[in-house]
C-alpha cells in the first residue's frame, strides 16, 4: 500500500473509533465535533478538502431553477390526435386515456382544451374505414378524405393552430404498409414517393402547416419539397421522420389505426414487418446518413422515432445539424408508463415529466407526446 493510502486508512480508523466514542476528532490541526440534530451513531469527521462541491449548486429550489440547463413547457409539445368517422369517441384499450375522436365537435373540443393549456400544435392521424383501403392507397390524397377534412375543420375553428400531418400510405393501404407492395413482396420506392407527393400536396391545399413524411422511402423529402413548391406551397414546412426505427414500441399506435401489416394471399407475398424500409434498431451511424440526405433535400425539422430508447440518436442529430429536432414519445412508451402507474409501481406525473425532460436534455426542440394535455396541466400546477 502506498504511503498516502496508508495515511488515509489511518485517518479513517481514527474517525471510525470516534464514531463509537462520539469524542471530537482532530486531523491535521482541525478539530471536528458532533453536529446538532444528526442521528445517533453518525460519525464525527473533519471536512474533506474539496475546492469544488457540486452540491452547493443544488442547495435550494430557487437556485436550482435559476441555473437549470433545460426547461419544459407546453410550447414544446405536439399533440397527436386520432380521428375516425364514428359518431362518438372510441377508447383505445392499449392506450389508457386516449380516444379515437369522432370527426366534428369532439375533435374541436379536444384541441380547444389543449390550446387552453398552451399546447397549440397538433398532428393528425386518421383511421380510414376499411372499405376505403386499397393496395395502392389512393385514398391518401382524396381532397375530401378524413385527414384533409380534419385539417380544414381545425383551421376554420383555430386559424393559428399549427397543424402537422402524417405522410405515409399505411393508414390507407389494405396491405398495412407505408408503401405500395408488389405481388412478390417488394415495397416499391419511387412509385410510393409519387403518391406521397400527391398526399402532401392535398394536405397543404387543405391548410396544413407542416407535412411529415413517416414512410422512410428514399428521396421522398426532396420529391415532396419540389411538389409543394411547384403547386405554390413554398410556405409549408416538412418535418421528416429522419431516423424512424423498426421498433417494437409501435404496437398500441397500430391498434389505434389498424395499420399493422396484413397477411398475404395465395398470389401475393406481404412482408410481415416494416424492416425493409424502417431502420435497424442496432444502427447509429445510419441515422447520420439519413440526416445528411434529409437536410440536403430540404427538410425543415428532423425527427427521431421512438424517443427514450434512442436518446443517443437524438443527441447525434442535435450535434450534427442546425435544424430543429423533434422526437416522438411513442405509444408503447406511453402505454408502459400508464400500466406501471396504474399498478402503483411509479409516480406517473414525475416519471412522465422526467421522460419529457430527458428528450429536451438530449437535444429535442419539439416532442410529439400523448401526454401533451396531462403534462401541460401538471406544469400549470393542476393535480
For residue 132, give the nearest of 168, 200, 85 by alpha carbon: 85
The active-site residue, picked from 244, 274, 275, 383, is: 244
383 classed as catalytic: no
244 classed as catalytic: yes
Contacts of residue 111, defined as CB under 8 A and 6 or more positions apart, other chains included, come to 79, 81, 122, 154, 157, 158, 161
For residue 138, give the nearest of 183, 187, 202, 204 by alpha carbon: 202
The active-site residue, picked from 127, 133, 274, 305, is: 305
Q: Give Cα separations from 318 to 73, 157, 220, 287, 359 (angstroms).
A: 19, 35, 22, 12, 11
Contacts of residue 155, defined as CB under 8 A and 6 or more positions apart, other chains included, come to 161, 163, 206, 207
Q: Are 98 and 253 in contact (CB under 8 A)?
A: no
Q: Are 243 and 287 in contact (CB under 8 A)?
A: yes
Q: Are 352 and 338 in contact (CB under 8 A)?
A: no
The C-alpha atoms of residue 270 and residue 187 are separated, in whole angstroms, by: 9
**Cell (9 digits) for 364:** 429535442
Residues recognised as catalytic:
244, 305
Amino acid at each position: 500500500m502506498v504511503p498516502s493510502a496508508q495515511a488515509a486508512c489511518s485517518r479513517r480508523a481514527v474517525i471510525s473509533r470516534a464514531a463509537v466514542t462520539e469524542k471530537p476528532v482532530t486531523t491535521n490541526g482541525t478539530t471536528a465535533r458532533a453536529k446538532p440534530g444528526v442521528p445517533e451513531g453518525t460519525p464525527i469527521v473533519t471536512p474533506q478538502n474539496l475546492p469544488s462541491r457540486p452540491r452547493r449548486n443544488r442547495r435550494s429550489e430557487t437556485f436550482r431553477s435559476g441555473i437549470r440547463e433545460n426547461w419544459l413547457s407546453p410550447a414544446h409539445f405536439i399533440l397527436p390526435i386520432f380521428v375516425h368517422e364514428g359518431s362518438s369517441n372510441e377508447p383505445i384499450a392499449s392506450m389508457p386515456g386516449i380516444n379515437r375522436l369522432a370527426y366534428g365537435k369532439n375533435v374541436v373540443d379536444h384541441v380547444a382544451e389543449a390550446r387552453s393549456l398552451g399546447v397549440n400544435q397538433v398532428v393528425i392521424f386518421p383511421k380510414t374505414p376499411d372499405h376505403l383501403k386499397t393496395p395502392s392507397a389512393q385514398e391518401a390524397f382524396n381532397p375530401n378524405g378524413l385527414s384533409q377534412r380534419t385539417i380544414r375543420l381545425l383551421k376554420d375553428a383555430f386559424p393559428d393552430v399549427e397543424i402537422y400531418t402524417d405522410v405515409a400510405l399505411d393508414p390507407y393501404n389494405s396491405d398495412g404498409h407505408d408503401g405500395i407492395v408488389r405481388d412478390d413482396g417488394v415495397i416499391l420506392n419511387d412509385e410510393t414517393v409519387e403518391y406521397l407527393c400527391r398526399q402532401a400536396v392535398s394536405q397543404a391545399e387543405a391548410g396544413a402547416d407542416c407535412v411529415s413524411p413517416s414512410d422512410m422511402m428514399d428521396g421522398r423529402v426532396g420529391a415532396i419539397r419540389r411538389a409543394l413548391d411547384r403547386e405554390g406551397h413554398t410556405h409549408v414546412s416538412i418535418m421528416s421522420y429522419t431516423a424512424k426505427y423498426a421498433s417494437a414500441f409501435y404496437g398500441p399506435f397500430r391498434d389505434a389505426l389498424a395499420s399493422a401489416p396484413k397477411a398475404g394471399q395465395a398470389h401475393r407475398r406481404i412482408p410481415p414487418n416494416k424492416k425493409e424500409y424502417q431502420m435497424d434498431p442496432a444502427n447509429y451511424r445510419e441515422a447520420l446518413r439519413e440526416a445528411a440526405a434529409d437536410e440536403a433535400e430540404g427538410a425543415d425539422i428532423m425527427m427521431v422515432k421512438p424517443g427514450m430508447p434512442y436518446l443517443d440518436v437524438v443527441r447525434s442529430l442535435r450535434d450534427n445539424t442546425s435544424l430543429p429536432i423533434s422526437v416522438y414519445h411513442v405509444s408503447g412508451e406511453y402505454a408502459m408508463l400508464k400500466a406501471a402507474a396504474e399498478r402503483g409501481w411509479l409516480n406517473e406525473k414525475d416519471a412522465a415529466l422526467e421522460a419529457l425532460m430527458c428528450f429536451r436534455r438530449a437535444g429535442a426542440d419539439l416532442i410529439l407526446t400523448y401526454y401533451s394535455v396531462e403534462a401541460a396541466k401538471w406544469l400549470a400546477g393542476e393535480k
